[in-house]
Amino acid sequence: MRLLLVADLHYSLPQFDWVVAQAPEFDLVVLAGDQLDIASAVPLEAQSVVILKYLQLLHGAGRVVVSSGNHDLTGPDAAGEQSALWLADARGAGIPTDGDSLVIDDTLVTVCPWWDGPTGRAALEEQLSADFAIRPARWVWVYHWPPFGSPTCWTGRRHYGDTDLPGWIEEYRPDVVLTGHVHEPPFKPEGAWADRIGDTWVFNPGRQIGPVPTHVAIDLDERTAMWWSLMGSETFDLSSLTTPARTVF
């Protein structure tokens, strides 16, 4: 099973064009949050209409899942917590998104929302617990924020990660966690685009400008992962018991 991970495209339409063009080469395309951009002059309501069209193109090209990030929040949900309300239209079009799960052969993919309060956090815990009970041979999470303490959340000055995620990884031990949110880690000597935490691999492709996004191509059968950016590329052997040394520095 081959996965393409991108995150933090932030309404960069040329980068979305690139993802659509690449989609047929993969079994699953993962958009791990921040499809929209709150700093853009284009209103979020208009951005979401455009990105939904791209999600439909990706859905037509193959399998795709999309999780929310902090830039994707467009209003309060029934509990009064901020949510990516527009992604309900993606679900209506058959695209797995926040709170959904997808089984492909022997792999379960759990799509986690960007939660904004205790109700959202509790719902996510219930989702992880329910999927843990039915997990097949492999379990993949899509979760926008990398775990605190991992080099995948190192900004060059501090660790900027989710403080709840390390505990959930330790408790449930997924095979892979696909993240984004923190743009700098792959470009910092002490940062990383991949990290092994116990039995779990965590990936964060980072972010760059230009028509081609930073991305990670993962082959779960061959046990390899390749990161690409304008800085260069690296390939890791996922059979390794520790994170391999980096080569681009």
Where is pLDDT greater, at 78 or 246? Answer: 78
Predicted pLDDT of residue 248: 80
At 153, list the tokens. Answer: 């959340």
Q: Where do the structural domains in the chain lie, given as residue ranges?
A: 2-237
pTM of the model: 0.97
How do residues 152-197 score in pLDDT, each as one tens digit?
A: 999 999 999 999 999 999 999 999 999 999 999 999 999 999 999 9
**What is the rounded distance in angstroms from the CA atom of residue 226 to the CA atom of residue 5?**
10
Question: pLDDT confidence of 41, banded at 50, 70, 90?
Answer: very high
* Burial (CB count <10 Å: 0-12, 13-18, 19+), residue 192: buried
Predicted pLDDT of residue 245: 84
Q: What is the dihedral of CA 9, 213, 88, 135, to 10 degrees?
A: -130
Strand pairing partners for 195? 202
Inter-residue long-range contacts of 44-47, CB under 8 Å, 24+ positions, other chains counted:
44/74, 45/74, 45/86, 47/11
Question: pLDDT confidence of 49, banded at 50, 70, 90?
Answer: very high
Provide mean pLDDT across the span 140-144: 98
Predicted pLDDT of residue 246: 85
Give the architecture (CATH level 2) of 2-237: 4-Layer Sandwich (3.60)
Provide mean pLDDT across the span 66-80: 97
Share of the chain above pLDDT 70, in %: 100
How do residues 103-121 score in pLDDT, each as one tens digit?
A: 999 999 999 999 999 999 9
